[in-house]
Amino acid sequence: MNTRDRLSFKNIFVRLPWLRILLIVVAIIWAVLDLSSCTISRVGGSLDVLQVTPMFRHVRTRDLDGKKLIALTFDDGPSEATTPVLLDLLHQKSATATFFMLGSRARSYPDIVKRAEREGHLVASHTMYHQNFATISTGAIKDDIAESRAVFDDILGHYPALARPPYGNINNTVRDNIQAPIILWSVDTLDWKNKDAAAIDEIAHEQAHDGAVVLMHDIYETSIQAVDRLIDEFRDEGYEFVTVSELAKLRGATLNNGVIYYNFRP
CB 243 within 8 A of CB 73: no
Question: What does the angle CA 206 – CA 211 – CA 213 come to, to the nearest 5 degrees?
Answer: 70
# binding residues, Ni ion (CB under 5 A) = 3
* Three-state SS at 9: helix
Q: Which of 51, 73, 74, 76 forms a contact with Ni ion (CB under 5 A)?
A: 76
- Give the interface segment with Ni ion, choosing from 71-79, 117-125, 146-154, 188-196 (CB under 5 A): 71-79
Closer CB to Ni ion, 92 or 171, in the complex: 171
Paired strand residues for 70:
212, 241
- Give the interface segment with Ni ion, choosing from 37-45, 52-60, 75-83, 106-114 (CB under 5 A): 75-83
Closer CB to Ni ion, 166 or 181, in the complex: 166
Smallest distance, Ni ion to C-beta of residue 25, A: 49
For residue 109, CA distances in Å to 33, 147, 172 come to 27, 16, 31
Residue nearest to Ni ion (CB): 75
* Burial class of residue 207 in the structure, from the number of CB atoms within 10 Å of its CB (0-12 exposed, 13-18 middle, 19+ buried): middle
Smallest distance, Ni ion to C-beta of residue 83, A: 14
- Give the interface segment with Ni ion, choosing from 42-50, 86-94, 164-172, 234-242 (CB under 5 A): 164-172
Distance CA(6)–CA(253), nearest Å, equals 65
Question: What does the angle CA 247 – CA 250 – CA 254 come to, to the nearest 5 degrees?
Answer: 80
Catalytic center residues:
75, 217
191 is a contact residue toward Ni ion (CB under 5 A): no
Smallest distance, Ni ion to C-beta of residue 75, A: 4
Q: Which of 39, 75, 99, 212 forms a contact with Ni ion (CB under 5 A)?
A: 75
Smallest distance, Ni ion to C-beta of residue 70, A: 20
- Return the closest-CA partner of residue 239 out of 71, 119, 116: 71
**DSSP state, residue 163:** B
Closer CB to Ni ion, 69 or 102, in the complex: 102
- Residues numbered 15 to 34 that lie near Ni ion (CB under 5 A) are none
Closer CB to Ni ion, 51 or 73, in the complex: 73
**DSSP state, residue 136:** S
Smallest distance, Ni ion to C-beta of residue 176, A: 21
- Residues numbered 114 to 133 that lie near Ni ion (CB under 5 A) are none
Amino acid making up residue 250: L
Cis-peptide into 78, omega within 30 deg: yes
Distance CA(203)–CA(117), nearest Å, equals 28
Residue numbers at the binding site for Ni ion (CB under 5 A)? 75-76, 166
